Chains A and B, each alone.
Chain A
Amino acid sequence: MIDVCDPCLRRSFLIAHLAPRIAGLLTRRRGRRVAGLLALPEDELLAAAAGRRIGEALAFLDSFDADSERERLDTSDAVVVCSHASLYPAPLRELDDPPAVLFGAGRVEALDLLGEEPAVAVVGTRRASPYGAEVAYSLGRGLGASGVPVVSGLALGIDATAHRGCLDGRGVPLAVLACGPDVAYPRRHRSLHERVRAAGIVLSELPPGTAPFLWAFPARNRIMAGLARMTVVVEAAQPSGSLITSDFARDLGRSVAAVPGRVTSRYAHGTNALLRDGAVPITGTEDVLDELFGVDLRRPPDEALRGPLPEDPVLREVLDAAEQSDSIDGIAERTGRGAGEIRAALGRLEVDGHLVRRALGGWERRA
């Protein structure tokens, strides 16, 4: 699906061409300044970023052939829409510097859905704690099952976990990358990248094949904030990229939410600071839905939060106890059953998909 006008395409390829120059320009300046730069008209952008390589950049623009590029872009699941196209997500236009073109890989229907349902960005640290990962997963899964598209950055930690949850809840994930949409970055997430393409869409303002640049991450964050009606920060240190996203969201007048964390954890400083400043506290999928649609207007389907309960009363009993206690002895005390019997029940519950086992022992309810 290609719907893009020549000037927009030209501008995107110019930015990709200048990407290494922009990187040099911004090495010492962090955060949002890049946004202002990307908003400049073409000639000022050239003046600001091309520097001594201006000749090269002009030659690039002279030789740029929109039609042949369009042809090259047209692969099976490629989606290319410019800001003048009808499919271009409307919420993104509210940005000061909306990306001229969105390059996508995946299902074009995911962009359609953005017109009907408000999306939620779930973002956070790359170094997620088990707690953060659990919350991100369950939010992703709950929102996905409730039909709310989940926007995230496919980064390690919270981002990827939220998307995994969304996929498990059969929702529509929208990933925004700081490189070409076809580039699986980080490489470890190649298979997740595949799954997101199959169920939703991977987006970027950079053309396919562009490598990731440091400056492109805050730039990508503005797109995430722009796409989402609401941004939920699950765990974030201070300062952090996730807080850049929430700043953009606040500037756009979108709602900003945060998951409370332990005050002693580094990765709760950012989120707790957001809460202090008036962000919406999130304790579960319900809180997000209440904020989006109004109190109790939409509920996540029960199935999404809880798989169907096991039939066997013993299994049910052990499942309940396992939720309250991490240890076999704790479960034994609550149920009055023997250790071997409990292990057998836990093994059964895991095979049937009610529990997941942590490495080296300990169980978690499949959220």
Chain B
Amino acid sequence: MLAAVSTFALEGIRSHEVTVEVDVRRGLPTFTLVGLPDRAVRESRERVRAALLNSELGFPQQRITVNLAPAHVRKAGPSFDLAIAVALLVATERVPAEALAGCALAGELSLSGEIRPIRGALAAALGARAAGYARLLVPAPNAPEAALVDGVAVSGVPSLARLADLLHGRWEPEPVEPALPAPVRDENVVDLADVRGQADAKRALEIAAAGGHNLLMVGPPGAGKTMLARRLPGILPPPTFEEALEITQLHSVAGIGSGRLASERPFRAPHHTISPQGLVGGGARPMPGEITLAHRGVLFLDELPEFSRMAVDALRQPLEEGRVEVMRGQRTLEFPANAIVVAACNRCPCARPADRCDCDPGQLSRYRRRLSGPLVDRIDLVCQVERVPAVELVGAARENPVSSAEVLARVVAARERQRERLRGTYALCNGDMDGRLTRRQVPLDGELAARLLAVRSRIDLSGRGHDRVLRVARTIADLDRRDSVAVRDLDEALAYRVDSWEALAA
């Protein structure tokens, strides 16, 4: 007898459909698995045999051939177990074939017949919806995550025996609640109001959030750069449902998801020893890198000069295009990678204030040369983070600290203005604009043009530097709810400018 069952397997971050075909006929009892299976897939023969027997569903003493189609795509991982077992049951007429019409399934089996959770259940559900399946059967623990996808009826199944009951119409699984975000607990929330002082960094963070600009924080170790960067996701507009689904899918693929819909934008802070592959993704089984895990959120690179040159240079493509291409054999996989990059470094190797700095020019230029050129050229703002005097830390807060909620309101308003203005272009926020769009969006009227001319005569600005200053000025005007960019905005943007890498390393 012949049977076919559909399942979904991960490739990169997306799932693609795999048809499991089983042929059972008389002959010497063998169990052959073809269709480019990797080791984990080939081992599924043992799991399937034991699971079927332990579930008292029987295992045919016949010649069994399993084919995973399309046969030219490499198959990896244990998520084919369930489909193979069910296809065998259909082929031996232990369950009715009609019960599987319009239904796809995915899951890993234990020897006892229990169904174990898999990675990327959300991606599988999205794939099933795209392929037009009405129903998806997944391991019970993955069901709430998969149920986030509308248009596919998702059921969670605990074991192979239960699954057989279900297909016979003897058991109905409980309806699944989609895994909407857990209510946020107050003590877990990081708020800008927790940070004393650091007025400059807070202002720069607000501009970065409002315009989607990459930011470089300069300051000594222990001054609070990480603490500040961690608060950036909280002042970004909360993700839309589609964005949240995207974030959840990526995290589920990487196996770091909570199993629930992401309610916050991700914050990723890889250590500086990370490899280029770890940062942008890749590997024999391509996995998303940190920049992809930070998609729609924030990627924080502390101690930027300590990162390997290759790793940071690999960020060039994602920073320019918002996506990563990973080559794997003849195939190219694409990962989304649209994150705000916040980098941090010291002013100089000795990290003392300028008036007490001991570094000689050679040391200084060596240190700054380690800031990667491609990255520095894509950073729009630089701000200071200073050690806050101990007196200020223990003393009562003098100022009334601004909370993340207040900043968020301004950021949301500024983003709204940008969306209106940029309608019909490829850009969503000012940080996305290239040089041409920037010049179109920031018309240089009399006063502004005159000031820019004065700037160029005094300050050595590259063409790229010029565009970056205008982009930031545009965001500052948006934050201030003004339609046109004023000279004052230009002045402020100028004070945040990042020198070209060549100037820094000179």
Contact = CB atoms under 8 A, between A and B. Distances in A.
Contact of A351 (B360, B384, B494): B494
B397 interface: no
Smallest CB-CB A-B distances: 9 pairs: A328-B200, A347-B491, A347-B494, A344-B492, A347-B495, A339-B199, A339-B203, A343-B495, A127-B360
Nearest to A364: B354
A209 interface: no
A308 interface: no
A82 B196 CA distance: 69
Interface stretch (B5-13, B54-62, B114-122, B496-504): B496-504
Contacts of A350: 458-459, 494-495
Contact of A130 (B354, B455, B476): B354
B368 A347 contact: no
Contact of A328 (B199, B354, B361, B490): B199
Interface in A309-340: 326-330, 332, 338-340
Contacts of B476: 340
Contacts of A360: 218, 345, 347, 368, 382, 499, 504
B495 A346 contact: yes
Interface string B368-394: 100000000000001110100000000
B183 interface: no
Nearest to A337: B199
B200 A329 contact: yes
Contacts of A358: 354
A361 B218 contact: yes
B478 to A, nearest CB: 13
A41 B43 CA distance: 97
A357 B359 CA distance: 18
Contacts of B459: 350-351
Interface in A107-140: 127-131
A130 B463 CA distance: 29
Contacts of A24: none
Interface string B171-211: 00000000000000000000000000111101100000000
Given A348-B491, A359-B504, A361-B384, A343 B200 contact: yes
Given A343-B495, A347-B493, A362-B347, 5 more contacts: A343-B492, A343-B496, A344-B488, A345-B491, A361-B383
A202 B80 CA distance: 82
B169 interface: no
Nearest to A357: B495
From A128, A267, A359, residue with most partner B Cβ within 10 Å: A359
How big is the B interface, by class?
35 or more
Contacts of A104: none
Contact of B492 (A127, A326, A340, A357): A340
A351 B452 CA distance: 9
Contacts of A353: 458
A339 B496 CA distance: 11
Contacts of A338: 199, 203
Interface of A: 127-131, 157, 264-265, 267, 326-330, 332, 338-340, 342-348, 350-353, 357-362
A340 B345 CA distance: 22
Contact of B455 (A129, A265, A329, A351): A351
A343 B203 contact: yes
A120 to B, nearest CB: 24
A326 B488 contact: no
A277 to B, nearest CB: 25
B491 A351 contact: yes
Interface string B349-366: 000011101111110000
Nearest to B216: A360
B504 A329 contact: no
B357 A130 contact: yes
B451 interface: yes
Contacts of A357: 495
B454 interface: yes
B362 A127 contact: yes
Contacts of A127: 360-362
Contact of A329 (B199, B357, B451, B489): B199
A343 B472 CA distance: 13
A129 B360 contact: yes
B357 A129 contact: yes
A128 B362 CA distance: 10
Given A328-B200, A339-B200, A361 B491 contact: no
B328 to A, nearest CB: 39
A134 to B, nearest CB: 9
Contact of B384 (A128, A130, A328, A359): A328
B354 A326 contact: yes
Nearest to B503: A359
A223 to B, nearest CB: 26
Contacts of B355: 130-131, 326
Contacts of A327: 200, 384, 386
Nearest to B487: A348
Contacts of A329: 197-200, 384, 386
A265 B383 CA distance: 29
Nearest to B488: A344
B499 A359 contact: yes
Given A129-B360, A347-B493, A340 B203 contact: yes
A353 B504 CA distance: 20
A129 B198 CA distance: 28
Contacts of A362: 347, 354, 384
A359 to B, nearest CB: 5
Nearest to B458: A351
A326 B385 CA distance: 11
Contacts of B499: 359-360
A75 B347 CA distance: 47
A160 B161 CA distance: 86
Given A329-B197, A339-B200, A361-B382, A347 B492 contact: yes
8 contacts: A327-B384, A339-B202, A339-B203, A343-B495, A344-B488, A347-B491, A359-B368, A360-B347
A337 B473 CA distance: 20
Contacts of B357: 129-130
Nearest to B363: A127
A129 B358 contact: yes
Contacts of B504: 359-360
Contacts of B383: 328, 361
Contacts of B455: 351
A326 B353 contact: yes
Contacts of B503: 359
Interface in B452-481: 454-455, 458-459, 476
Contacts of B386: 327, 329-330
Residue of B345, B347, B495 with most partner-chain A CB within 10 A: B495
